[in-house]
Amino acid sequence: MDHFLYQNGVLHAEEVAIPEIAASVGTPFYVYSTATLTRHYQLFDDALDGMDHLVCYAMKANSNQAVLRLMASLGAGVDVVSGGEYRRARAAGFSGDRIVFSGVGKTVEEMELALTGGIRQFNIESEPEMVALSEVASRLGVSVPITVRVKPDVDAKTHEKIATGKSENKFGIPIAKARDVYRQAATLPGLEVIGIDVHIGSQLTELEPFETAYLKVAELTEELRSDGHDIRRLDLGGGLGIPYERSNEAPPLPTDYGEVVRRTVGHLGCEIEIEPGRLIAGNAGLLVASTIYVKEGEGRDFLILDAAMNDLIRPAMYSAFHDIFPVIEPDAGAEYAPIDIVGPVCETGDTFTRQRPMPPVEAGDLIAFRSAGAYGAVMSSEYNSRPLIPEVLVHGDQFDVIRARPTYEDMINRDSIPAWLEGLD
């Protein structure tokens, strides 16, 4: 469920008409619903009710400060994967003891940043990283809680570019090596082994891969405890998918996921961490664009928008599907015809969809993309010297710009001319 519905024939974000926002900030823009973000976080928190747990929002999905501040106010933890994300989390109000640091390439500088600023745990991804963290912690005279990320060689049945739990993926260590790695960790100064981390991929639409992975984690927990390790926290990752195509069967709900967690690891007495991102933010956001032209081609027509692949790269990168529809509700008897929906960037890949049935659309009409709240704005760029687009947050009948569109001067003036080029024709 989201809070983007037609009211009297006009698409609204909660109680704000989308054309009102467009008139204020121009197009294209992202708009997020506070009510939807709140509801989706609460679904996960409720799903683990009765278990010692922390829902750590995976901020790589949407790292806007306003979204982060909302998550912090709801009691969430946060999962970060870079020093920049760590700084964003602290700026948004997350205390260090609610920040989990993941990622395969943590630098010494990032380790120092988190160890001096406060951290809940590091999720270790390799033996060299573990040794480096030990050296940094020892130099700073601190002890840092760690988990080790294991890959259980489970097929998440998702897109190959967002699968993370198979043996060939770059993440974590093979689960078969785990006991040796934990044995090494116990000998390293400055490290406190507290748990296990696992994350098998993103946009999972079935529960079976989770169940398979978590059963392996449960078995490993017992083995590590028998080896003398105090395993008391399980970071189970994120990955539960969202319904990008509304005509398809919806993925499992957080409540169903919660039952898998209880069934597989609930008997171990561990604190449970989960790291949802997409399901919290994805359907809480729209991308809104204006139609520039409707172009007749040979054998196909094109709907050319002012949004492009630099604003929403998922279709170009993953062939990802987004529901696309007019902001003004089509007439009940409107005839739909297939059309290619594209942007103005000079790439054939700047195509959102091909031969998508659409009602009649004219130049100037507003078009909305559903499920754009996750991996939209955070992956955008200024390709073709197109400024980053605004982000807007709606709360009831109010809205505010939470990231303004930079001016062309702002964008150009970030560059500098070397002295030896000054004055050259």
Strand 398-403 and strand 391-395: pairing? antiparallel
Query: 337: helix, coil or strand?
Result: strand
Asked if 100 contacts 114 with a C-beta cutoff of 8 angstroms, the reply is no
Who contacts 412 (Cβ-Cβ below 8 Å, separation ≥6)?
Answer: 385
Who contacts 399 (Cβ-Cβ below 8 Å, separation ≥6)?
Answer: 13, 16, 20, 21, 24, 31, 392, 393
**Plot region of 345 (φ>0 → left; ψ -120 to 50 → alpha; else → beta):** beta
Cα–Cα nearest to 280, from 176, 168, 373, 352: 373
Cα–Cα nearest to 223, from 255, 162, 175: 175
Rounded to an integer, what distance in angstroms lies between the CA atom of residue 405 and that of residue 408? Answer: 9
Structure tokens at 393: 């947050």
**Residues 168, 226, 298, 346: which is the catalytic one?**
346
The answer to whether residue 346 is catalytic is yes
DSSP structural state of residue 396 = T
Tokens 């467009």, residue? 22
Question: Rounded to 5 degrees, what angle do the CA atoms 212, 214, 215 make?
Answer: 65
Enumerate long-range contacts of 244-249, CB under 8 Å, 24 or more apart. 244/320, 244/321, 244/322, 244/323, 244/370, 244/371, 245/321, 245/323, 246/323, 246/370
**Plot region of 153 (φ>0 → left; ψ -120 to 50 → alpha; else → beta):** left
Distances (CA, A) of 275 to 24, 65, 78, 230: 35, 18, 8, 22
Residues with catalytic roles: 346
